[in-house]
Structure 1
């Protein structure tokens, strides 16, 4: 008599691991806002244990709570701009065509992973929304039997794996632009052009390996047809995929301009005229690194692609629900950042300074990449801000690199590669994508956790190995 093997036992061991992690996360992983509150409390208790006064802790939290408001609004517009462009009819048609390519559920998950990571090298904001809408288009193909959770996790890999290795790397952009650097940092590092950071052959090789391995893990961890879970009806319908604003047959006088391209043309002339001046006055990579420029570019492009203001406004309205988590959580992370850097404890040292000493003191030229990578990853779990955190870390980390005679550009890339690791399980950056997909962090973190288990030894090992091929160069001042 043949024994019937349960479907779950026929899965690859990585898929079984991901399913178990997903099941654990669905039951025990808190909502992203709860996660952020717990982070605040943990850092506050740690500061208290280091000798900080309770009143100073409370004041720092209150002062830091609103410190990220400009950044918060920039992130909100990254979500809105990315969604508006990605949901424009011409882009939606492109997504629909791309969604026809995969021939199996697991193949679809791997395809989403590759698309997410490749687009993130150009723009992480567009990558999140584009990949999210690609998942939604694939979910409309029931014959694929694609697991919606695994596909959502794959869509997040652009931000969870390689975004900081591309053109939108805040740290690399900052180091290449002396006018943007704090004077103290400029004196330590000098100017580090892209040729010394993201365009190093070691960096390009690391990025290629991460993309290839991440796609393989996404494919291996995706549940087969027997265990695949599709999109829930309420999640799939929460945000429509298209923004087709057909012109009504009869318009009231006040609605005419909403359905006419006249305003689109006039406003686009102003916006693109300013953008043309920015890109003419600065290198393209430097201009696009400014989040305000980036956001205006995407909003203006979205308006132009939708052609009529009504279609543009409808797309914005559909994008706004995806920003709710950003608006509620970013202030909490602002409080955490100031608790780490602005509350002196015993001896007047902050918690961030104590953490830096703990790692920097045990570093050597050979172990610097491992120590710095581990430190940046741990701190990034509590302060998930690529550019802002680099400004905090860079003065003492790069000074240590100078003293240990470590290649300064590679030190930036060590930060970039390691800083992305906590993104794989930290819901902070998941929020825009979760809003598009109608999922919660617990739905995808089981799959991204398996990616983290693979990435940690891979990233740290490659950072150490490739770093040995580089020689120290003295800082070059502008």
Structure 2
């Protein structure tokens, strides 16, 4: 029997029934689930059909589609930049050296898996794009160690837990960033919610406690579910080459290339950025500055330039990062069109599809039932619309109106969405793609472990949104100054 066959047989003997079921589910998903863009196209068709059934004319539906398609062009660019800046920072030489040092901290295989999970989730609170690449590079660095025999699949799943657990409770939370940035909100949502800065969403003690609980839970699951003995499959067993290619060095043959390799220009740009940031904190409330999506992206972009040291190194990293933004660029306009059809295409009685859904959620009654149903609905919809920001733009018009109707705190409603939104990422492989490229694995290799996380996270999430929701009081929306 070959080494590969021996490993496969051992793998089957060592895995639990739940893990084997999850592997089958992952295989089925890879075979039958189309690309996420197809789901977005189907979503537009379904929403358009719903508007027609509701009595809207084809002309009104078409006008809503075309009129809303580019409503969120600025936000589409911003979300693409979250991915790009995270990738650029994570692949910079200083961060690469830091990752190599961090990889030698854990002393046992199980501890190593839990450790990767902890760091990936912690980094995701700063930037979810950074977490994907950082976590993947850390998993590879741990797997390269000669003194530890660690299951590479478990390491890969652990490195994804930032996206599968708490990213939406951090600074790059799409929904929280949208609600804190008036220009990113559609007029319909802005009228309902007003502006909600981070003090009303991710910086509430309830949100931070939720993040802590989910991190502890995820790390514990990673630790106790890491395969041992014959069930371990290393990167070598899976045919993964862990040797990273050194960056290519180029000779400078033209005067203009000296500027491309200049270390002065990045330093000047970073100093200017820090100077701007200081003036912002001196002239505006701290929460306003921290909640600024444009400021956040400027800081991370210039930090990436500074850490790469030269314009040439920075641009090479940007070139590698751009493909990871493709899904956002082509999908978000469709989400904007969906939102426009739902909120603008009026049918019989002048009622829109969004208003019908609003009535359904409002009829749920008290805030406890509302919180649980919204969380479950968000998780279910996320299986088919794998985008935190895009999906929020579809949900927000009716969810936030319903929250107002049942007197649920609007900031906590955003966090209910954020807490539940990460759950489908543990099953749907869409956001795993950049990480899988780093790990050189397939989705089915790690979904068995992330599906276990999903099963254990779901009841905890439902309990948290219900119990913590009762600690809030309703606050009327505050409209931005003209």
TM over 0.5: yes
8 Å contact kept, 2:180–2:291: no
**Range with greater deviation from structure 2 (381-390 or 120-129):** 381-390
Query: Residue in 1 aligned with 2:301?
Result: 299
Query: Residue in 1 aligned with 2:162?
Result: 158
Instruction: Go from structure 1 to structure 2 and tell me whether the alpha carbon gap of 1:454 and 1:256 turns closer, same or farther (over 3 Å shift).
Output: same
2:458 equivalent to 1:453: no
CA distance in 1, matches of 2:50, 2:420: 23
8 Å contact kept, 1:39–1:336: yes
1:27 to 23, 26, 31: 31
Alignment partner of 2:360: what SS?
A: helix
1:91 positional shift: 0.9
8 Å contact kept, 2:36–2:385: no
CA distance in 2, matches of 1:330, 1:180: 12
Query: Residue in 2 aligned with 1:123?
Result: 127
8 Å contact kept, 1:80–1:316: yes
2:138 equivalent to 1:140: no
8 Å contact kept, 2:193–2:477: yes
Query: Residue in 2 aligned with 1:211?
Result: 215
2:79 to 75, 81, 87: 75
Tell me the TM-score normalized by structure 2: 0.80
CA distance in 1, matches of 2:226, 2:32: 21
8 Å contact kept, 2:432–2:443: yes
Instruction: Go from structure 1 to structure 2 and tell me whether the alpha carbon gap of 1:33 and 1:387 turns closer, same or farther (over 3 Å shift).
Output: closer
**Range with greater deviation from structure 2 (270-279 or 91-100):** 270-279
RMSD of the TM alignment (CA)? 3.9
Instruction: Go from structure 1 to structure 2 and tell me whether the alpha carbon gap of 1:107 and 1:346 turns closer, same or farther (over 3 Å shift).
Output: farther
Q: For 1:437-452, what aligned pairs fall within 5 Å after superposition?
A: 437-438=439-440, 444-452=446-454
CA distance in 2, matches of 1:145, 1:382: 37
8 Å contact kept, 1:84–1:319: yes
1:30 positional shift: 3.3
CA distance in 1, matches of 2:286, 2:245: 31
**Range with greater deviation from structure 2 (60-69 or 9-18):** 60-69
CA distance in 1, matches of 2:242, 2:54: 47
State the Cα deviation string for residues 180-216 of structure 1 (Å, max 9, x = none).
8889878866776655543444333322221122223
CA distance in 1, matches of 2:446, 2:439: 11
Instruction: Go from structure 1 to structure 2 and tell me whether the alpha carbon gap of 1:130 and 1:345 turns closer, same or farther (over 3 Å shift).
Output: farther
Query: Residue in 2 aligned with 1:112?
Result: 116
Query: Residue in 1 aligned with 2:6?
Result: none
Q: For 1:171-320, what aligned pairs fall within 5 Å after superposition?
A: 171-172=175-176, 197-224=201-228, 226=231, 228=233, 230=235, 244=247, 246=249, 248=251, 251-320=253-322
Alignment partner of 2:235: what SS?
A: coil
CA distance in 1, matches of 2:330, 2:185: 30
Give the aligned length: 469
State the Cα deviation string for residues 306-341 of structure 1 (Å, max 9, x = none).
222222222222223333333344444444444444
1:94 positional shift: 0.6
CA distance in 2, matches of 1:135, 1:124: 16
Instruction: Go from structure 1 to structure 2 and tell me whether the alpha carbon gap of 1:310 and 1:457 turns closer, same or farther (over 3 Å shift).
Output: same
CA distance in 2, matches of 1:220, 1:245: 41
Q: For 1:318-329, what aligned pairs fall within 5 Å after superposition?
A: 318-329=320-331
State the Cα deviation string for residues 66-90 of structure 1 (Å, max 9, x = none).
4444333323322222122111211
Query: Residue in 2 aligned with 1:472?
Result: 473
CA distance in 1, matches of 2:224, 2:34: 26
1:96 positional shift: 0.9
**Range with greater deviation from structure 2 (403-412 or 109-118):** 403-412
CA distance in 1, matches of 2:322, 2:286: 29
**Range with greater deviation from structure 2 (352-361 or 92-101):** 352-361
CA distance in 2, matches of 1:305, 1:177: 28
2:100 equivalent to 1:99: no
2:423 to 421, 424, 444: 421
CA distance in 2, matches of 1:142, 1:27: 36
1:113 positional shift: 1.9
**Range with greater deviation from structure 2 (52-61 or 98-107):** 52-61
**Range with greater deviation from structure 2 (286-295 or 329-338):** 329-338
8 Å contact kept, 2:88–2:314: yes
1:92 positional shift: 0.5
Instruction: Go from structure 1 to structure 2 and tell me whether the alpha carbon gap of 1:36 and 1:16 turns closer, same or farther (over 3 Å shift).
Output: same
8 Å contact kept, 1:116–1:128: yes
Alignment partner of 2:231: what SS?
A: coil
CA distance in 2, matches of 1:408, 1:71: 21
8 Å contact kept, 1:165–1:207: yes
8 Å contact kept, 1:33–1:328: yes
CA distance in 2, matches of 1:236, 1:345: 58
Tell me the TM-score normalized by structure 1: 0.81
